[in-house]
Amino acid sequence: MKFILPLLIAVVFSVTVFGQSINYNDEVTWDGSVPGYAILTDSGVVGGSTTVNSIRFRINGVTYNHTTQTFRFPSAPADNAWATDFSYNEANFGQIGNNVDNFQFQGTNNIIGNGNIIFDDVYFNIGVSNIMNITNYKGVFQYGEQNFGMPPCGIMVTKKLYFNNGITTTNRDYPIQGAIAFVNNASYQYSTALSDAQHVDGFVTEFVHFNNSTGAGGHGGNFIYPVGNTTEAYQLQRSGTLDDWGTLLTVGWVDGDPNTTIDLTGTSGGAGGSINYTETTNLTAPIAAVSAIGFWDWHYQSTGDDTYSAIALSHDQTITVSIPSLESSSAAAGDLRLVGWNAGTEKWINLSGNTGATGVTKGSTLTGIIPAGVTITALAIGSVSAILPVTFGNFTVKPVKCTALLQWKTYTEQNNSHFNVERSQDGIHFSTIAQVSGAGNSTTTKSYEYTDEAPLSGKSYYRITQVDFDGQYSSTPIRLIEMNCEGASLRVYPNPVSNQVTVKAGKAITQVNVLSASGQAVMQYRPSLSQNGGLFNMNIQQLQSGIYMLQIINKDGTTDIIKLMKK
C-alpha cells in the first residue's frame, strides 16, 4: 500500500488536565525557521497528558518541551506515529533530523500507547530520583512500515538519549516491541553514570541501518546495554562487527532461575516465550551448572519479521557482562563461565573457554564469545563445578514508621537450615536478633522478611547469615538505616505473642494491667526504677491463649489501651 502524505499536516494534541480534556491544533509547518515556532511547549499544566492523534510527521529543527506527565498515543495501532521525518515523501522517509524533545515534568513520567515514536535528541530531564515508564509498544505493522524500516520498539532514538532521570522502564510484556531502540550509531548518556540508581529496567535494542538514514550501523563495533532489574544494573557489553542490513539486537536482564523462568523472547520472540532448561541433559561439557539468579535475554532478528524469529549473527561477538553478587554462594570465580542457550541444540554451551570471572562480588565481569552462525537466545552464569550453592537475591532494609523491615530472596538453596538476622551498631560487631527457617533445598525463588520492632536509635547495620545443616554459613552484604524514634508513640511487640512481650514507649510508665476480654485484671506489672518505664519485657507465659487488653498507665496520668493476642 502506498503512503500518500499532504504537504502540510496538522499536529493535534489533547491535553488532559485534572480530568478535563482540552484540544488545540497547531496548523503550522513546525519549522524552526518560522518565528515563534522554533520552540513548542505543551500546555504547561502540572500533571495531565498530551495525546498525539493519527500519523504525524514533524518538521526539522524544532525543540519540543513536554511539561505534562504522560505522553500518550491512541490505542488503534493503524492510526498513530510520532516521527522526526521532515521530507514528506517515501524516497527520503526516515532521514534523521535535528529535533529536540525535553521531558520536564518533575515526578514519574509515562510514555504510553501502541505506535512508533521516533526521537532525534531526547532529554529525560525529570530528576535522578524519578522514573520514566515507557509502556508504549509497537504492535502489528501498518502502512508498509516494514518497507520503510520501522522497527518494533517502544521508542526509537536516532541521535542521543540523555538519561537525566533515575530508573527507566520498558514494557516487559512486549520485550522486543517495547524496547528502547538506538538506531545505527545513536548513543546515550547518563547524568552521573550507569549504576544501580540509573539504568534501564527492561529491554534495549541496537537497530542496524534504519532505512534511508545516515550513520554507520553497529555503533562502531561496541555497545553497552544499560540493563538491569528494578534495583540493580547488570549491564552487557557487545564488541564485534554488526553490519547485517535491517536487523535488530535486543537485550534485557531477567530475574529468576532459567530452568523455571520464561525467556521472554524465546526462539520466536512471540507471546509466552520459552524455558531454557538447566537439567543435566541440557548442559554441554564442561558446564556442570547454571546459576538460578537470572539471565540476559538475547534476541537477534530481521527488522521486518513480525513473527520475531531469532537468527544467528554473521560475525563473532565478544560479550562482557557485569554479574550479580555471588558472594553468598561460595562460588569460585575461576569456576564461573559465560554460557549461552543454543536454540539449535537446546543446550547451554560454554562461551568463555577456560577463563573464569574477575571475582564474585557484584560488578565483577565475565567474558565470552558468541560464535558467528550460532543462534543464541539467552546468556547466563555457568559453572564447571557441580553446584552453585545458596544464592541470595536482593537484600533490602527500610524504615517503616519506627521499625526496620528486612526483605531478602534466595534463588537457590541447598542444605539450608535457617537464616540468622543480625544487627550491629558499628557495622563490625554483630549479634543475632532473630532466626528464620530456610527452605532446605530449592531451585525456585523464595522470599523472606523480618521486622525489627526495636531498631537502635541512630544507625543500625543489618545482615542475613545463611546457616547450613552441617554448620557452614554465608552472609549477605551489610545494609544500613538511620532513624530517630525517641519520641515515638507506644509500641508492643511481638503481637501475637507466645511467652514474652516487649513494651516500648517514649514516656515513663507506672503500671501495666493485663485485662481479660471481660475486663477483669488477670495480671499486673510495675516497671523497675532502673527501667524507667520506657522499655521493658513482660513474661506472660502463664496466660491462656486468647485476646487480652493491655491497660498502660503513664506517669503523666494518661492511660493507653492496646489489644494483645496470646498464642
- Mean local confidence (pLDDT), 434-457: 84
Phi, psi angles (nearest 5°) of residue 86: -135, 25
**Which range among 32-46, 437-451, 490-504 has the greatest average pLDDT?**
437-451
Rounded Cα distance between 496 and 501, Å, is 9
**Which range among 266-270, 277-281, 305-309 has the greatest average pLDDT?**
277-281
Whether the full predicted model's pTM is greater than 0.75, yes or no, is no
Query: Cβ(311)–Cβ(300) under 8 Å?
Result: yes
Rounded Cα distance between 298 and 277, Å, is 16
Q: Which of 39-48, 445-454, 456-465 has the lowest mean pLDDT?
A: 39-48
Give residue-wise pLDDT tens across range 318-347.
999 999 988 767 678 999 999 999 999 999
Report which of residues 105 and 267 the model is more confident about: 105
Rounded Cα distance between 144 and 3, Å, is 8
Chain position carrying cell 520466536? 268
Rounded Cα distance between 162 and 153, Å, is 18
pLDDT at residue 85 in the model = 57
Query: Cβ(226)–Cβ(238) under 8 Å?
Result: no
Q: Is the pLDDT of residue 542 over 60?
A: yes
- Mean local confidence (pLDDT), 157-182: 94
Q: Is the pLDDT of residue 557 over 90?
A: no
Which residues pair with residue 560 across a beta bridge? 552
Return the ∠ at Cα 384 (arms to 381 and 387), rounded to 5°: 80
Residue 67's pLDDT band, with cuts at 50, 70 and 90, is confident
R_g of the chain computed on alpha carbons: 29
Rounded Cα distance between 71 and 60, Å, is 20
**CA torsion angle 304 305 309 315 (round to 10):** -30
Which residues, 6+ apart, have CB-to-CB distance to 219 below 8 Å?
Answer: 182, 184, 185, 187, 206, 242
pLDDT at residue 21 in the model = 28
Which residues, 6+ apart, have CB-to-CB distance to 244 below 8 Å?
Answer: 208, 313, 314
- Mean local confidence (pLDDT), 176-185: 91
Rounded Cα distance between 515 and 566, Å, is 12
Query: Cβ(328)–Cβ(475) under 8 Å?
Result: yes
Q: How many residues does the chain have?
A: 567
